[in-house]
Amino acid sequence: MNKRFVPRLKRRLKISLGGRLPAFTADVSPGGFAVEAMQVMKVGSTVQGALTMEGREFAFTGKVTWAAYGEPRLSLRGRFGVRFTGIANEFFEVFQRAM
């Protein structure tokens, strides 16, 4: 049973997290996104960055809510989830159009 009440889009969107190299989302929703990356951030970490959707960049702040570590020696990426704590209202309009 899927407990999610908000839609998630399986989209590979470019994001930047602070001063780190760009990464890409595995999925995105109005509440946050999941990231695939070689370096996984710790649960509870505060993040800030920018997400690019439909050619527009949206600055955000968020909190890491879950993490699944990969295996760098085998080039297996990890994943982690970020819940938005701040993002421009225009993001929600663009998200709605993308559905």
Angle 16-54-20 from CA coordinates, rounded to 5°: 5
Give the Cα separation of 19 and 46 in Å (integer).
13
Distant-in-sequence, close-in-space partners of 44: CB < 8 Å, separation ≥ 6 = 63, 64
CATH code of the domain covering residue 50:
2.40.10
Give the total number of structural domains in the chain: 1
40 domain residue, yes or no: yes
Helix extents (H) in the chain:
89-98
pTM of the complete model: 0.84
Its domain, for residue 80, covers 14-98
List pLDDT tens digits, range 31-63. Answer: 999 998 878 899 999 999 999 988 999 999 999
25 domain residue, yes or no: yes
- When computed from its CA atoms, the radius of gyration of the chain, rounded to whole angstroms, is 13
Using a pLDDT cut of 70, give the percent of the chain over it.
90
72 domain residue, yes or no: yes
4 domain residue, yes or no: no
2 domain residue, yes or no: no
Q: What are the beta bridge partners of residue 27?
A: 34
9 domain residue, yes or no: no
